[in-house]
Amino acid sequence: MPDAIEVRSADALIARLLEELQISLASVNQQLLVKLADLKKVLAADYRMVPGMPPAPMIGELSRIIERDIRSRFAGLSSGWNKDDLLRHLARVFGPREIEVRAEPYRRGAGLALRGFFCRAEVSKRAKFVIFLNSAHPPAVVAATFGHELGHYLYGSMVTETSAFNAFIEGSFTRHLSDESELFADCLVALAAYDRPTLNRIVARETGSPADRWITLFKEIHRLIDSRYQLNLAPGRLANLSRIGYLTAMIHFFKLRRALFQLNGL
């Protein structure tokens, strides 16, 4: 299994990924270069050794929570993610704060660079954990952001985290690798999106050189995410800046999921 790509090989792999996405190198501007730099770092990182990886007991508990408390009440990431029975159950078990979700399309200011955020607040004299989701993104991205922010809610219940606010900004995945709370939140998304049978099916298709295996993985991951969670990276559907950002997210969550299996057997 390819866990990391040598930095010198990452450029060639990125060129192949751009070819798969039908993005011409001549069209790459400064903004896109920033996105590609983040993708390169994600490809080059060995996720088994990143400093922000939460301890095994915490990840084991998260896995049990997903199976016991989330998956049974939450059939699919791309539809019905804001289920009252799920939110009430999590608040009852992991409170004391109630969970409130607000979603609306947001394109002003930071625009699509903002995926969502949470804040701990008092609303009508009730302690709330408020999640804001930018629904201008595709459904899969909104759902992944929802899962990430739920991860912060659970992390706070485990370690008594008290920070009032946290944002989930597109392109920040490499910063997550050194931040335990961010990577824990990402672990919820990775574990929920890829159960063991799905993970096994994807990695079983890896053949050829490391670069060839990553191209195969990209195609398999994209096929899965698009069919289950609605994220089509085909040309003409989304801006190239978003396509590269979403590609980086797909690879980040998959590499994290595989690292959790390799480290913890989950």
Q: What is the pTM of this model?
A: 0.91
Q: Are 86 and 98 in contact (CB under 8 A)?
A: no
Provide the b/e sequence for 67-82 (b: ≥16 CB within 10 Å).
Answer: eebbeeebeebbeebb
DSSP at 124 = T
pLDDT in tens, 66-99: 999 888 776 554 455 567 788 889 999 998 889 9
pLDDT in tens, 141-190: 988 999 999 999 999 999 876 666 666 666 578 889 999 999 999 999 99
For residues 66 and 25, give the distance between their C-alpha atoms in angstroms, rounded to a whole number. 41
Confidence category of residue 260, pLDDT binned at 50, 70, 90: very high
CA neighbours within 13 Å on the CB side: how many for 33?
5
64 or 122, higher pLDDT: 64
Question: Token pair for residue 247?
Answer: 């590609």
For the packed helices 139-159 and 56-65, what is the interaxial angle rounded to 10 degrees?
Answer: 120
Range scoring the smallest mean pLDDT among 68-82, 144-158, 207-221, 249-263: 68-82
| Nearest Cα residue to 3 out of 248, 203, 171 | 203
Cα–Cα distances in angstroms (integers) from residue 155 to residues 10, 62, 90, 149, 165, in the given order: 33, 9, 12, 10, 14
Question: Token pair for residue 10?
Answer: 């990452």
| Nearest Cα residue to 197 out of 218, 216, 219, 224 | 224
Strand partners, 103: 133
For residues 67 and 192, give the distance between their C-alpha atoms in angstroms, rounded to a whole number. 9
- DSSP-assigned letters across all residues of 200-248: HHHHTT--SSHHHHHHHHHHHHHHHHHHHH-----TTTS-HHHHHHHHH
Confidence category of residue 23, pLDDT binned at 50, 70, 90: very high
For residues 265 and 196, give the distance between their C-alpha atoms in angstroms, rounded to a whole number. 10
Long-range contacts of 13-18 (CB under 8 A, 24+ apart): 13/43, 13/211, 13/214, 13/215, 14/39, 14/40, 14/43, 16/211, 16/215, 17/214, 17/215, 17/218, 17/247
Question: Token pair for residue 138?
Answer: 């595709």
Range scoring the smallest mean pLDDT among 17-21, 111-115, 117-121: 111-115
